[in-house]
Amino acid sequence: MSVRRVSKGGARRAANEEELAGARVDPDRAEAAYDGHAVLQGEALMSEDEERASLQRQRRRDKPSLARLIASLNVGALLCAAAFVFFQEPNNFAIGGASGFSIVLSTLVPSLPADVSLWIVNVALVAVGLVLVERRAVFWSVVASLAIPAYASLLQALAPAAGSLTGDMWMDLCCTVLLVALGNAVAYNAGASTGGTEIIVMALTRHTSLPVGHAVAAANAVVVCAGMALYGVRIGVYCIVGLVLQTVVVNAVLGDLKQHKVCTVICRKPARVEEFVVRELQRTATISYGYGAYSGRRVAQVMTVLTRAEALKLQRYVRSLDENAFITYVSTSEITGRGFRWV
**pLDDT tens digits, 63-80:** 667 777 788 888 888 888
289 occurs within a structural domain:
yes
Per residue in 47-62, is it b (16+ CB within 10 Å) or e — as a string?
A: eeeeeeebeeebeeee
229 and 274 share one domain: no
Q: Are residues 154 and 247 in the same domain?
A: yes
pLDDT digits (tens, 9 = 90+) for 10-36: 567 777 777 777 777 776 677 776 666
CA-CA-CA-CA torsion sign (100, 103, 104, 105): positive
197 and 86 in a single domain? The answer is: yes
Res. 311 pLDDT band, cuts 50 70 90: very high
Single-letter residue type at 242: G
Domain boundary among 223, 257, 291: 257
Q: Which residues contact 74 (CB under 8 A, 6 or more apart)?
A: 147
Backbone angles phi, psi at 263, to 5 degrees: -105, 130
Lowest mean pLDDT among 164-168, 181-185, 196-200, 281-285: 196-200
Number of domains in the chain: 2
Q: What per-residue confidence (pLDDT) applies to 314?
A: 95
Residue 215 banded pLDDT, cuts 50, 70, 90: low
Instruction: Kindly state whether residues 115 and 222 are assigned to the same domain.
Output: yes
3-state helix, strand, coil in the chain (%, to 5): 60, 10, 30
In a domain, 60, yes or no: no
Look up the pTM and report it.
0.64
Q: Mean pLDDT across the stretch 174-180?
A: 87
For residues 147 and 125, give the distance between their C-alpha atoms in angstroms, rounded to a whole number: 13
Radius of gyration of the CA atoms of the chain, in A: 28
305 in Cβ contact with 261 (< 8 Å): yes
* pLDDT at site 34: 67
Q: Are residues 176 and 265 in the same domain?
A: no
Q: Is the dihedral of CA 266, 268, 271, 274 positive or negative?
A: negative
State what percent of residues in the chain have pLDDT above 90. Answer: 8
Q: Residue 267: which domain range? A: 259-332
64 in Cβ contact with 191 (< 8 Å): yes
| Mean pLDDT over each residue of the chain, to the nearest integer | 78
DSSP 3-state of 331? strand
Q: Are 17 and 253 contacting, i.e. CB atoms less than 8 angstroms apart?
A: no
CB 155, CB 224: distance < 8 Å:
no
Same domain, 268 and 169: no
